[in-house]
Structure 1
Amino acid sequence: MKIGFIGTGNMGTALIKGIINSKIVDPQYINVYDPSSEKLLKLKDETNVTIKENNVDVANDSDVIILAIKPNIYDSVLNEIKDAVTDNKIIIIIAPGITIERVRDILKKGKIIRTIPNTPALIGEGITAISYPDNISVNDKETVENIFKSCGEIIEVKENLIDAAMSVSSCSPAFVYIFIEALADAGVSLGLPRDISYKLASKAVSGSGSMVLNTGFHPGYLKDMVTSPGGTTIQGVRMLEKYGMRSAVIEAIIASYEKVKRK
């Protein structure tokens, strides 16, 4: 099997390195092209993947084609490679708002799969939402899932829900970083050194997420475990509710979702 990458930005590079580390295929069987020769040379030096001359060469010589490009150039790239796509090739979308139907209308051929990874994939801690067409085979599903498991976890969702999944998993790291920064700023204001404050805040957030996943307990139950009657934590919770943290987070996710739907 040969895997092709059109685009080698952060997400494309994360997947390439994950595939290599997981030994899904040898680096020589990963075909890549990017308009930036600097990116290609750096990637070649780091991974020994096969550099192609253009997008069409990647599509011609790959069984799986991963479109790791910006949404605004999808149509032009699809039109460029459509004659190189055959019915047995797997085409993987990595972009918000780009539907399976839209890609199929241009390509006419291929097994088109829609995915939404998130940036923690860069350190192997991502989660990818995946939507499949009705006619996808078990073997093709396994191929796609192995690629994305190399950078974290996967979850299958219906395509009509994938934009909602994107808003919760792909946009939210930015919101979490703001929260971490605010926690650290508060620590600094109370006299903690900046580096210590960032570490305390970051580990508190990552550990809390792991608690939800590993225990299976409802987040509200875990919150109640920390908030003793008349204690310190409940006073902080009271202030978060007073200033609308819960509502602000909900509105941020909905705003991100609505922006994708307007594209």
Structure 2
Amino acid sequence: EIARRYGINSSMYLFGVGDHGGGPTRRDILAKMELDKRPALPNLIFSSSEDFYNEALKEKTDYPVVKDELNPIFEGCYTTHSDIKKANREGENLLLTAEASATLASIYGYSYPHSSLKEAWEKVCFNQFHDIFDGSAIHSSYEYSGKLAQEVKESTERIIENSLTSLSSHIKTERKNKKALPLTVFNQLGWLRDDLVAVEMPQEAFSSFHLIDEKDNLVPFQIEGKKLVFVARKVPAFGYKTYWMVEGEKTPFSEAKLLINKERKNGKCRLSSPGRVFY
């Protein structure tokens, strides 16, 4: 069949222990030796996939190029159950953030939550089992995996909140203006960082205020719903930077002109700096 379809005289057969192949057993080796005694059968060679491909290229090089899905059973595994794939990425990111936050806080006496983090990692890793992660498991499996993912989210968010609360108690935020409200931005990544910050407006926030950094520079901001949004700049690696809300005239902020205007065959997209997307 291989010779008829592809015009070559070699073929490759995977065998071994396990449902995905593995090392040959004594029984496999003895079976191969027995088949070698039958003159009507092809010559069998213990080899590697690399040797097979090299041999196939000696016979011809103009093989057809296949660009589409080949798997007849588990098609679409990259996209099936995107919820569990998303939960995995969120779980990994939350765990790294929780570990960094707890480590920084532990320098000042916070009790590092070893067991909680270990348990959360085990749940994330369990959901990475190939039949679960690729979307080919049975429906009830995802009910259980979804429960594990939610437990990871709740556990890590609790660790992050507790560790940063502990760490914040050691940060000096007093200003000459005693009424100024401090906002501390943490960077749990290992490099100097500029990024967008969105926080719930404090209940004690002023009706009119401006935002300043540690050098009293005015920081532009927006109010989106009930959230204060601004760009925190040059926040140290595994560190923090504090901003203050000061009662008084609002920080000047003007609507920027259109920054990006992209057109594709299936539509247009316009993006302005305040973060608004127009289709």
Same fold (TM over 0.5): no
> Higher helix proportion, which one?
1
TM-score by length of 1: 0.26
> Higher strand proportion, which one?
2
